[in-house]
A and B are shown apart, each in its own frame.
Chain A
Amino acid sequence: MQKRIIGSLVATSLIMAGCVTINIYFPAAAAEKVADKIIDEVWQLKPDTKPAKPSPENKGEVK
């Protein structure tokens, strides 16, 4: 009985480990989220806003 439980414990662990290995791909969405957060902090931007463009009248027009 005890052997069977140990056996099923090992089997389940292996199966779950297999699933985890297969399913762990690069979490692109999560990476984008942390990238945005870190960039906002480094560049001192307000979260969820695009940086304001410098006002056009102060910027020499490049034609």
Chain B
Amino acid sequence: MTTDTTHNTAPSHGTDHAVEHGMSTRGYINIALILAAITALEVSTYYVDFGPLFLPSLLIMMVVKFFMVVSYFMHLKFDNKLFSWLFYAGLFLAVGVYVAALATFHFFLR
């Protein structure tokens, strides 16, 4: 709206800046290489016996990959915090309610 010149709740740098200040092409490729390496490590658990570390290491690698894509490729790390709040609200709510629901099935005791 042409007349809507409002800036009341902590105006941030606009979206374009966030992206431009995000990362270089080189940076993106580095992230992708790290992601590829972690994936290779994940797949290796199928061939190599990790013993008791198997489950925790897989879950940790999954979480690391997840947040690397969210933070760097989706720019949440550089973007306005409001975006993070909105997305993580849904994410953690989902984790919370579904883990609780599975717990009532004694899923984690099996």
Whether A associates with B in a native complex is: no
B residues lining the A interface (CB < 8 Å)? none
Chain A interface residues toward B at CB < 8 A: none
